[in-house]
A and B are shown apart, each in its own frame.
Chain A
Amino acid sequence: KQEVTQIPAALSVPEGENLVLNCSFTDSAIYNLQWFRQDPGKGLTSLLLIQSSQREQTSGRLNASLDKSSGRSTLYIAASQPGDSATYLCAVTPRDFGNEKLTFGTGTRLTIIP
């Protein structure tokens, strides 16, 4: 059974710092990994999608990497801003025909201190 873990559960950093969020998964048989952002009480906003054949994806100040063999992904946020404060969730799509349900970690709650 695929399990996804995100550590730490919460992180506070001063504005302007670069930071890294971690995600690990137990089964490397995946189609892809997706990072999402969630503001309090709101839905999920997709940030980056990395296919299993890719090593990284970039969008603006965000860079996500994937090491499928070790079951790890990182989300790097450069020059953090107060508006980056939110919960960040990673999720994997298992390579398991008929059972490809997106499987989530419990998230990292990020607070950027002005």
Chain B
Amino acid sequence: DAGVTQSPTHLIKTRGQQVTLRCSPKSGHDTVSWYQQALGQGPQFIFQYYEEEERQRGNFPDRFSGHQFPNYSSELNVNALLLGDSALYLCASSLESQGLYGYTFGSGTRLTVV
């Protein structure tokens, strides 16, 4: 049973560029959440997608956007990249949108902005 899969694993981009990260949830899960984790910090919530809609959003600028597809997979898009966007981006999936049964995380995408 495949867990949460994220692609790519590593990415290097230049300031001002745009990037798209991808996530496939664990089988049977319908909700996807995205987190940003800076070095030495706990993950910070970006947003959550359920039924192809953004259900919750953290304190991130509009440069961060997302999408959920009918098969529950999701994309995170970041426009106009800043050096400060360099981080590990984690995707988590859950059985339902309230997290009543916990979350399963992927291995993350390491984004470096130069």
Contacts and interface: CB of A to CB of B under 8 A. Distances in A.
B42 A106 contact: yes
Could you say which interface size class chain B belongs to?
20 to 34
B71 interface: no
Contact of B92 (A100, A102, A106): A102
B21 interface: no
A83 interface: no
Nearest to A94: B99
Could you say which interface size class chain A belongs to?
20 to 34
Contact of B42 (A32, A43, A101, A105): A105
Contacts of A43: 4, 6, 90, 105-108
B48 interface: yes
Contact of B45 (A97, A101, A106): A101
A110 interface: no
Given A31-B100, A93-B100, A102 B56 contact: no
B42 A107 contact: yes
Given A31-B100, A89-B42, A98 B56 contact: yes
Interface string B90-114: 1010000111111111111010000
Given A32-B102, A106-B42, 7 more contacts: A43-B4, A46-B103, A89-B43, A93-B100, A93-B102, A101-B45, A102-B45
12 contacts: A32-B100, A36-B105, A41-B88, A44-B90, A44-B92, A89-B43, A100-B99, A101-B33, A101-B58, A102-B33, A102-B43, A102-B92
